[in-house]
Chain A
């Protein structure tokens, strides 16, 4: 049983305040969707929690099972059980997928997997996501299509088995087939054990495949409305206009 607890989080990029007091709690077994218009700060939340150096936390706390994530380096947070699936996965020239994944698994599990077991695990993971096995020898994300990059993110999710996964617009840029494959991966991860998911998305489309327990609407750097899955239906029908207008007048 794990808990990610975000309290009154304020985050700035340079002099500009992006997050203005975010409160959010994600427990294992729960899936939370964060929805909101472009520029509302959804991705900033994801990157700030993961510890990207570009984002400065000006106040607030982020605890994972009571431990202060903000005091940890990026890699310490990941080893503590946090995972961020990125909207734009980074191309790392000259580092093969296989080498990258083996290094990551070794770091997160605290010991190097046996070569044969790793090969088997990797192949199983790739098969489940319909990833061509030849990708294991390619450079990490280099020359991958948008859909291939997202599958590769979910492959990492399934191999690293974090306590809490933050998925930043994993659905963006995917065609229906790729969306289904990726959603199945997320659902396998949800079913695999005591894990919590924070799903950040602009569109309701992915929520047909990955059912959220809670929906939070983000606008102008904070949560402006919360509810159950029915809130997503309302957003689908009405869009974000009501919230952006409210935020602008606030």
Chain B
């Protein structure tokens, strides 16, 4: 397939399944300028040796159909076309894809958990997941990334008319992992999509969640939580493309950073096209910088090409722990470390409540505890 230029207003985003359509990034491009290319281990320039392994294990709800398919399966790549070189590399390199189907009018009785376990960061691996939620169906999906890997993948969420999909994606990699991933949700009429991204582990994680709408009434909520330690680069690039009327989106990402060289990047692109009247959107990113030597880059971009929006806004703030919060708690006898822990918990509290899978919520909570104890 040749080069298609998506009619994106000023982002000039290209979409193609072919790696050759994307030049090797140099780091000067807008979409690559924050990413330390030298730490991608060749995922971006074709030099990665493809002998690595990521084992995919699915524990599915009984109502849900799970298949492992080859590259030629006609259902793949329908909801999403790769939008950058690593994504196209993953699309042209994966051997097996996992397809999860939630049949129409079916409500899955429990979460479907896809565990992706890396067996080493010595060589690269590529993957592809398609989650198809048929009309009026409902499901909860967990993507659980563990172990060590150099991994690039694309995940398609195809949420049909009236269907609901709730996704928790947990990046709980070992310290040396590299992960570049695209999550794209395509929402049908009146479809509901909830994404909760938690990124804690890995040397470099670059995750790009995006949403497009095919008919009015789509509703997307994208929430993220990250905790960046010394030397880690955790990057989240959001894109919500409002191209049809009367859809809603809400993006809320919060992160804490501590340690030398801890680097968080958050890009929030929202486009409201001329035809997308009645759009209601809001995006927010907040970073809590706990120590010197940590850095957060936060770039919200909101492009509105119609005068008829229901609501559109964005907010971004990065700052230190508030001394007044700490003083107030200490003035009640609470020791500094405990006061700090309470305030950081408070910072994440409203987000954590949104995780609907209790086991995952507990796991994230204890992971945040462990980060604070470092």
- B218: shortest Cβ distance to chain A, in Å? 30
A73 interface residue (CB < 8 Å to B): yes
B39 interface residue (CB < 8 Å to A): no
Chain B residues with CB below 8 A from A107, complex form: 332-335, 338
B324 interface residue (CB < 8 Å to A): yes
- Cα distance A95–B328 when bound, in Å? 12
Q: Given A92-B325, A94-B350, decide whether A75 and B333 contact each other with a Cβ distance below 8 A.
A: yes
Contact B338 A50 (CB under 8 A): no
Per-residue CB contact flags for chain A residues 69-83 toward chain B (1 = under 8 Å, else 0) read: 000011101110001
Chain B residues with CB below 8 A from A95, complex form: 329, 342-343, 345-346, 349
Contact B330 A74 (CB under 8 A): yes
Contact B335 A75 (CB under 8 A): yes
B34 interface residue (CB < 8 Å to A): no
Contact of B332 among A51, A73, A93, A156 (CB under 8 A): A156
Contact B347 A90 (CB under 8 A): no
Chain B residues with CB below 8 A from A74, complex form: 327, 330-331
A99 interface residue (CB < 8 Å to B): yes
Chain B residues with CB below 8 A from A84, complex form: 331
Q: Given A86-B328, A90-B328, decide whether A99 and B333 contact each other with a Cβ distance below 8 A.
A: no
Per-residue CB contact flags for chain B residues 334-374 toward chain A (1 = under 8 Å, else 0) read: 11101100110111111000000000000000000000000
Contact B333 A104 (CB under 8 A): yes
A204 interface residue (CB < 8 Å to B): no
Q: Number of residues in B with C-beta < 8 Å to the partner? A: 23
Q: How large is the interface on A (under 10, 10 to 19, 20 to 34, 35 or more residues)?
A: 20 to 34
- Chain B residue at minimal CB-CB distance from A90: B328
Contact A92 B333 (CB under 8 A): no
Contact A100 B347 (CB under 8 A): no
Query: Helix, strand, loop or mixed for chain B's interface?
Result: helix
- Chain A residue at minimal CB-CB distance from B346: A94
Per-residue CB contact flags for chain B residues 309-332 toward chain A (1 = under 8 Å, else 0) read: 000000000000001110111111
A29 interface residue (CB < 8 Å to B): no
Contact of B339 among A75, A89, A108 (CB under 8 A): A75
- Chain B residue at minimal CB-CB distance from A142: B346
Contact B342 A100 (CB under 8 A): yes
- A127: shortest Cβ distance to chain B, in Å? 21
Per-residue CB contact flags for chain A residues 136-150 toward chain B (1 = under 8 Å, else 0) read: 000100000000000
- B288: shortest Cβ distance to chain A, in Å? 11
Contact A92 B348 (CB under 8 A): no
Q: Given A95-B346, A103-B342, decide whether A89 and B328 contact each other with a Cβ distance below 8 A.
A: yes
A52 interface residue (CB < 8 Å to B): yes
- A133: shortest Cβ distance to chain B, in Å? 20
**A residues 88-124 touching B (CB-CB < 8 Å):** 89-90, 92-95, 99-100, 103-104, 107-108
Contact A93 B338 (CB under 8 A): no
- Cα distance A94–B334 when bound, in Å? 16
- B102: shortest Cβ distance to chain A, in Å? 34
Chain A residues with CB below 8 A from B336, complex form: 73, 75
Contact A78 B331 (CB under 8 A): yes
Chain B residues with CB below 8 A from A51, complex form: 330-331
A193 interface residue (CB < 8 Å to B): no
Chain A residues with CB below 8 A from B332, complex form: 75, 78, 100, 103-104, 107-108, 156, 160
- Cα distance A187–B335 when bound, in Å? 29
- A16: shortest Cβ distance to chain B, in Å? 19
Per-residue CB contact flags for chain B residues 61-77 toward chain A (1 = under 8 Å, else 0) read: 00000000000000000
- Cα distance A108–B338 when bound, in Å? 13
Q: Given A90-B325, A93-B347, A94-B348, decide whether A99 and B342 contact each other with a Cβ distance below 8 A.
A: yes
Which of B325, B332, B336, B345 has the most chain A CB atoms inside 10 A of its CB?
Answer: B332
- Cα distance A104–B329 when bound, in Å? 8
Contact of B333 among A53, A79, A94 (CB under 8 A): A79
- Chain B residue at minimal CB-CB distance from A92: B325
Which of A89, A92, A139 has the most chain B CB atoms inside 10 A of its CB?
Answer: A92
Chain B residues with CB below 8 A from A83, complex form: 331
Q: Given A53-B323, A94-B348, A94-B349, decide whether A78 and B330 contact each other with a Cβ distance below 8 A.
A: yes
Contact of A92 among B323, B329, B335 (CB under 8 A): B329
Q: Given A75-B336, A75-B339, A100-B342, decide whether A92 and B328 contact each other with a Cβ distance below 8 A.
A: yes
Chain B residues with CB below 8 A from A93, complex form: 346-347, 349
- Chain A residue at minimal CB-CB distance from B328: A90
- B364: shortest Cβ distance to chain A, in Å? 15
Chain A residues with CB below 8 A from B350, complex form: 94
Q: Given A53-B323, A94-B350, decide whether A75 and B334 contact each other with a Cβ distance below 8 A.
A: yes
- B345: shortest Cβ distance to chain A, in Å? 7
Chain B residues with CB below 8 A from A73, complex form: 330, 336
Chain B residues with CB below 8 A from A100, complex form: 329, 332, 342
Chain A residues with CB below 8 A from B325, complex form: 90, 92
Contact A92 B346 (CB under 8 A): yes
Which of B334, B339, B348 has the most chain A CB atoms inside 10 A of its CB?
Answer: B334
Q: Which residues of B contact A (CB under 8 A)?
A: 323-325, 327-336, 338-339, 342-343, 345-350
Question: Can you list 16 A-B contacts with CB-CB less than 8 angstroms, sorted by A residue number?
Answer: A50-B331, A73-B330, A75-B335, A75-B336, A75-B339, A78-B331, A79-B333, A84-B331, A86-B331, A90-B324, A92-B346, A95-B345, A95-B349, A100-B342, A104-B333, A107-B332
Q: Which residues of A contact B (CB under 8 A)?
A: 50-53, 73-75, 77-79, 83-84, 86, 89-90, 92-95, 99-100, 103-104, 107-108, 139, 156, 160
Known contacts A90-B325, A108-B333, then 5 further A-B pairs from the complex at CB < 8 Å, ordered by chain A residue: A53-B323, A92-B342, A93-B349, A108-B332, A156-B332
